Chain A
Amino acid sequence: MSEAIYYDVATLLIPEAVTMLREYEHPQRDELMRAADRLRHVIISAYERARSAPLPAEVTRFRDVMRYGLLSLKRIFTEGDWRSHIFFNELLYEVEAVKYLLEWLLSVIALPSGATLLDANSVTPIFSARVSTRMGARVVLTLEERLAEISLVREVVDEYFRRYGISGQVLKVGPRFSTGAPRESVDCVFFGSLDSWTLGWDAMLSAASMLLKPRGVLAYLLPANYREGLRTLLALWGIPPYPEPAAAAAQLKNMKFRDVRVNVRGPFYAIIAQRR
């Protein structure tokens, strides 16, 4: 199956997103509507391609989950209801491509006993739960203030800690780890949630260098939104474009990371690397 079909599906969701944007006050509404307008021809081409063949089941699930994501945005902005955001995060982890990459990361990460994993901005920390259960790691879940102040987010994080028996703590940090983050003291950093993607690639790299101990492991699950369709769609969540996997790997090597491994699946990719 060609990965292009995911991008066509993402592109075809943009008109739906625009229709919804008219119903609420999104901070970048005008900008997003202009971007969608520029994509008119891309949308028509995607429509022509998509109607020629039925969608595979995993692409249909991706579309249904992203479509629900659009509804969750509307609910946040119109009703201040974050429950749909929580549910959307959990559904996203059940999209086949994401699930496969998370399992891949879990299978290749090797952590010493009693290691500390830092998970950034995960409002539904399923990866931390798995690492904690399988490897006995201690989890430091960092939440930027904008998330930590939402009582529902605190409840759900607490729920994950209790239900999965995660040992660890939740840390409130400033924007882009400007305050409150531990320095060079964690064995592994994980950026792989919707709310961590809003940080952007450069901020993620600086954070990894600042947080990781020497020989610490970096594990990223990222959207392949360097291609159009997904790029504009994810901009609705304030997620900037990420580099292509090869460029991301090359940059990590230049930053003195070693054993860089990349795995691509559908419109997402995962990277793992070790700090020298």
Chain B
Amino acid sequence: MSVAIRVLRIRCPECGSEHTIPVTQEVIREAEQNPLGLAGLALPHGDHVLVVYLDRLGGERGTRVFRLLQQPTRRGLAEVRVPPSEMQGLRNISGFWAELGKLGVRVSSEALAPAVSLKARRGETTLELAFNRDVGYQTAKPWLEMLLEVFDTSYSSELRDYVNAVKALDLLLEERPFEYARQVLWLLSNASTITVRLRMPEVHLLREIRPSILFERYDGEFIQKVVESGGSTVGELLSGVLPQVLFSSAEAILALHRRGVIDLVVA
């Protein structure tokens, strides 16, 4: 059992109810591994969920409230179906379902005649991926585990965010895991909850000097769009539907964040 390092008292801005949150080592560890240095704790109650964000020191860094989309049905989870059109254009994944226990949601798509499927569970999250070809267990396993970990620590209530992360994974399955792969998936699966904040003088220097990698190896027009978009959410910036566009745009946003040109903050 985890021992609380400190205890926070939080009032839900939606209904005014008061909640006690034990900040444990696991929460701190999650914040340390998170690209934004934050960990989210979900407190479902009534017809809504209060998400409290904590930083690496266990301090409160904001809250979000969202309503459950539908009434709970199966195992107390609200059912959400992904339209088949959302899964078009994928090369490896034919469908998925995910139970996001912390949010009380079960998201699923139709899988058309899968060749093979893999399932894994972590915390309150279960994820199953169906593949339209045999990608190989050793190849798929680390990616499945990574996506599962990301879903387990995500608190977006936007269905599209989770679908976009699956789309990116479809491409990643053709690569070996790399240093910041988890960040790409995390950014996508939280896209609607994260806002881009521009930093000066970095934005000014970027526009003036145009460092090579950002304009040679990323879509320069997208880079320009991001640095002119202060206040937009990542979800608003990721307007492309093709997996390649999504993936490369998420990488570009992270590249700007890694250089301190933008900050990514909880919306």
Chain A interfacial positions (CB closer than 8 Å to B): 61, 64-65, 68, 71, 75, 81, 83-84, 86-87, 90-91, 93-94, 124, 126, 129, 151-152, 154-160, 162-164
Contacts and interface: CB of A to CB of B under 8 A. Distances in A.
Contacts of A90: 211-214, 259
Contacts of B259: 83-84, 86-87, 90
A158 B180 contact: yes
* Chain A to chain B: the 7 pairs with minimum beta-carbon distance, closest first: A83-B260, A158-B179, A163-B217, A87-B259, A90-B211, A155-B180, A94-B209
B210 A163 contact: no
B201 A159 contact: no
A18 B237 CA distance: 41
B213 A83 contact: no
Contact of B260 (A87, A151, A163): A87
Contacts of A83: 257-260
B260 A81 contact: yes
Contacts of B209: 61, 65, 91, 94
A94 B258 contact: no
A164 B218 CA distance: 11
Contacts of B180: 155, 158-159
A154 B179 contact: yes
Contacts of A81: 260
A64 B202 CA distance: 11
Nearest to A87: B259
A225 B179 CA distance: 36
Nearest to B180: A155
B260 A68 contact: no
Given A83-B260, A158-B180, A68 B255 contact: no
Contacts of A156: 258
B205 A71 contact: no
B150 interface: no
A164 B201 contact: no
Interface in B59-96: none
A130 B261 CA distance: 24
Interface string B177-195: 0111001000000000000
A94 B201 contact: no
Nearest to A72: B260
Interface in B18-61: none
Contacts of B255: 159
B178 A152 contact: no
Given A87-B202, A129-B213, 10 more contacts: A65-B209, A83-B258, A84-B259, A94-B210, A126-B213, A155-B183, A156-B258, A157-B179, A162-B178, A163-B217
A163 B205 CA distance: 22
A68 B255 CA distance: 19
Interface in B153-193: 178-180, 183
B260 A91 contact: no
A164 B216 CA distance: 9
A71 B210 CA distance: 19
A68 B201 contact: yes
A87 B261 contact: yes
B7 to A, nearest CB: 27
A151 to B, nearest CB: 8
A190 B213 CA distance: 19
